[in-house]
Amino acid sequence: MIVVGIDGGGTKTHALAVDERGNILGSGTGGPSNYHSLGLPNALDVLADATRQALNGQRADIAVYCLGACDSDMDEQRLTEGLCARNLAARVICYNDSFAPLRAGSSRPFGVAVICGTGFNACGIAPDGRQARLYSLGPLTGDWGGGTSIGEAMFGAAYRAEDGRGQPTMLTEMLLRAFDVPDLKTLAYRIADRKIHHRDVAGLAPLVFEAAEAGDAVARAIVLRQADEIAIAALAMLRRLDMTDLDVDVILSGGVINGRGPLLLEATTRQITAVCPKACVRRLHVPPVIGAVALGFDALGLAVPQIDGSQLSMARE
């Protein structure tokens, strides 16, 4: 028996094939596979190539794809149909990519996960199999969080401090150094000329954590806002799936979750456990693709074997 799991998002794609005992048969990697950005044919090509690498010419009994663009029933149908047509597995299941860290980090086949990487998402699986997730399409669907939101908040804090709408912050000098400009006026010219790229904004998040750890009040407020959003999303999943009274894992994944200092994790945990005292809140410490594989065993009604992920790189969106 061959189970293959694929974790794909806006940065990279990772595939892992295992046998019924959890022995790793092969792995594959690829670039971004978010079809909202690439278009469906190109995304399917990336996903199929990574899957083929992992399968080494074999055909899987089941393939589970946890994908960054699988945000609605419409997305799920398009991706499932497209991947089935590639004939790489007898059975194909598509989930949103937030389900991969949930299953990779939870000790049970149910729980909640919040991804806070470049963007933000959350999902949950109940003991009876019911699922909940966010649309995760950005501000228009109510989302705030991840590297992009934190980077935008850093920009805003610097300009608000300069024009009197906000208090002074060390984030201003850090922002100027990051873009190698002498002042905010010069930086504003770059903004107006559309020379500030999305990846540059998202890459500012570590500076906010650094400033927060140094005691900067404005930076701490940004980190605490992120903690609020993580806790709100996790609690929403727990309530929707009637799990507030259960001993349940809440898994936090993504680059922002590993930001410098304890402030984010401590504030998030405090808010979640105040409502759900039995919840176990923790960071993910294994590659998310292992969760995609575990979902395959769940779908087959089989116990998930131990999978050694120590040799696999962490695949984060």
Contact 47, 8 (CB under 8 A): yes
Per-10-residue mean pLDDT of the chain, 317 residues long, equals 94 95 96 94 98 97 95 95 97 96 94 93 96 92 95 98 98 98 98 94 97 98 98 98 98 94 97 98 95 96 86 49
Domain extent, residue 25, equals 1-97+288-317
103 assigned to some structural domain? no
Q: What is the pLDDT of residue 314?
A: 44
What is the C-alpha separation between 4 and 105, in angstroms, rounded? 18
226 assigned to some structural domain? yes
Q: What is the pLDDT of residue 310?
A: 67
Contacts 24+ apart (CB under 8 A), 124-133: 124/237, 124/238, 124/240, 124/241, 124/243, 125/99, 125/241, 126/241, 126/242, 126/243, 127/243, 127/246, 130/241, 131/99, 131/241, 132/236, 132/237, 132/240, 132/241, 133/71, 133/96, 133/98, 133/99, 133/237
175 and 222, same domain (yes or no): yes
89 and 182, same domain (yes or no): no
312 and 250, same domain (yes or no): no
10 and 47, same domain (yes or no): yes
Domain count, the chain: 2
237 and 305, same domain (yes or no): no
266 assigned to some structural domain? yes
Q: At what angle do helices 147-163 and 171-179 cross, to 10 degrees?
A: 110
Q: What CATH number did the domain enclosing 196 receive?
A: 3.30.420.40
102 assigned to some structural domain? no
92 and 130, same domain (yes or no): no
30 and 159, same domain (yes or no): no
197 assigned to some structural domain? yes
138 and 266, same domain (yes or no): yes
